[in-house]
Structure 1
């Protein structure tokens, strides 16, 4: 039997950094084999040259460090080590894995900085580092990866500002940065990311106004800036937007009537702010709305009858405002409604005959 090839030897060298190795890996990763390609758990090779092209050990419960030898697997295209207990730093040597297209290290205990060298992964389209204990700033080099389409950095301890070169991400579709300690503003250059479909920036310390350049994101479907500060909602040509959340953002002033331009909007959360004035009648033009929550604000006046025209609406929460007048009787005949909360207002008159849960 021939000696184990170099890729196999590299994989065995990674084991030396692991403190808990599942039995299935211990038994199948065998030094007596000539290649890891036939039966090694989590290993896939190309059919021709027997090079390791994929390492997928997601959810195996491995603990220990990710050794720098990982970069010696010169033909790797995908690495998925998610949902384990890896700790310590992400090795900077990963930046030498020049063929890598997918990197998933999410749901582990990695600490320290995101290596600047990951910006060298020019073929990368998917990066997921969420739910670790990563700190310091987001390297600007990540936003120079030309074909990056998905990046999950949420639920870490990242600080500093959103990198100034965010507008260079011409192919980015999904950008999740929520659950960190990011500060500063959302830069107008984000409007250059015209492929963006999802932006989650909630649970940070961002300030300022939403840039008007968001109008250019015609494919944007999900946008969440909840639990930041002083982010007034601003809308324009984001015609694909299906969900917008700005909860606990210290918003003030009236709800803009421009919501009527968002014909695909299904979710609108503006709860726990300082919004004032009347609920705009134009909300009745958002025919796709399923969930409308504007509770815990300072809204006044009557509930507009146009709300009854939202035939897809299932959840309506307007509680803890200063609403007056009668409850529109049309709400009682809206067969799609499942939950209505109008409590803690100053409403008068009869309660419609709801066949649902009402508070």
Structure 2
């Protein structure tokens, strides 16, 4: 290398170092993350400029206007691929991370547990593998955790249910196995819990009844066993209860009449014993009611005629007997009625168009 080339290289390195050193620590952390990603849109690479003093004007970034610390990282739907990277822990003021609908892969970095101010974390619809880091128990400000539609596996850690303030927990459409965590009852602020399309086994824990604010509970497409816990009837704020496609058995508990906000009840494809509790007719908000292929016996309660908002009733593929109650004709919103493959007798009541 001649002298001119050597001087030019030294000048370039000096200018580059000066430029980068002008960027604050959060900006440097973001550039470090960027260096790990295999594919990013040009709009992002042109925006994330190392010559800036802060990353506050960068695409997908929001900062605290006083400290210029990054408080939000939102790169939802940008088609980014590659690992997330452990450098994420250096963004210690983060309150929001939204990376959903990308192509992130590899394990979720345990260092995320150091982002103790996080309130919202969405890594859904990616290709993350491995388990949920135990370090998530340190995210005590977390209100929303969304990890659905990944390839996560292993057991759901009991430690996750030490995050007392969690309101929304979406873990569905993964490969989680093991038991339904018994400590779920710790989450007394929980509004929505979605665990469907996994490989969870064992019973639904009785402690679920402690989640008194729960509005949506979706557990379908797992391998759950045992009876529906009586404590489910304590969830008076419940709007959606879906536990179809499991191995549940026993009787359907009495007491759902207390769930005045219940709009959807799907217990299909299980192996219940006994019949339909008449007090279900007091679930005044019920619009969708499905218990298909679930070994039901007995008659259809006439009290179902009180369900004024009922639009979809599917009791097909059971062993129900007796007559179709004419009171169902009082359900003026009813547009779908499936009762086939039962042991019903008599004519279709004229009130239903028979």
Question: What TM-score results when the alignment is normalised by the length of structure 2?
Answer: 0.91
Aligned residue for 1:12, secondary structure, equals helix
What is the total number of aligned residue pairs between the two structures? 332
Match of residue 147, structure 1, among 154, 158, 165: 165
Pairing 1:326–2:317 present? no
Q: Deviations over 1:53-84 (max 9, x none)?
A: 00000000000000000110011000000000
Instruction: Report the Cα distance in structure 2 between the residues aligned to 1:55 and 1:134, rounded to whole angstroms.
Output: 22
Output aligned runs, 1:135-214, within 5 Å. 135-214=153-232
- 8 A contact 2:259–2:283 mirrored in 1: yes
Q: Deviations over 1:39-63 (max 9, x none)?
A: x111111111111100000000000
TM superposition shift of 1:196: 0.7
> CA contact under 8 A between 2:268 and 2:291: conserved in structure 1?
yes
Q: What does 1:46-57 align with in structure 2 at a 5 Å threshold?
A: 46-57=64-75
C-alpha contact (below 8 Å) 1:58/1:83 kept by paired residues: yes
The answer to whether the aligner puts 1:121 opposite 2:139 as a matched pair is yes
Q: What is the distance in 2 between the residues matched to 1:187 and 1:19?
A: 42
* 2:77 alignment partner in structure 1: 59
Deviations 1:213-240, CA, capped at 9 Å, x for gaps: 1121111111011001134432412222
Maintained 8 Å contact 1:214/1:238 = no
Instruction: Specify the structure having the higher radius of gyration (Cα).
Output: 2
Kindly indicate whether the alpha-carbon contact (under 8 Å) linking 1:14 and 1:67 is maintained by their aligned counterparts in 2: yes
1:233 pairs with one of 252, 264, 267: 252
Partners of 2:212 and 2:298 lie apart in 1 by 34
Unaligned runs of 5+ in 1: 333-351, 353-359
- Residues 1-359 of structure 1 correspond to what in structure 2 (within 5 A)? 3-38=22-57, 40-231=58-249, 232-236=251-255, 237-332=258-353, 352=354
- Tell me the alpha carbon deviations over residues 126-176 of structure 1, each in whole angstroms, 9 at most, x when there is no partner: 000000000001111111112110000000000111112111111001000
The root-mean-square deviation of aligned C-alpha atoms, in Å, is: 1.2
Shift of 1:90: 0.2
Distance 1:139 1:31 in 2: 39
Q: TM-score, normalised by structure 1?
A: 0.90
- Provide the rounded CA distance (Å) in 1 between the counterparts of 2:248 and 2:169: 26
2:153/2:176 contact within 8 Å kept:
yes
Question: Shift of residue 286 of structure 1?
Answer: 1.8
Contact 1:233 1:246 in 2 (8 A): no
Q: Tell me, yes or no, if the aligned pair for 2:228 and 2:248 is still in contact at 8 Å.
A: no
Q: Conserved in 2, the CA contact under 8 Å of 1:89 and 1:113? A: yes
Moved over 6 A (4+): none
Q: 5+ residue gaps in structure 2? A: 1-18
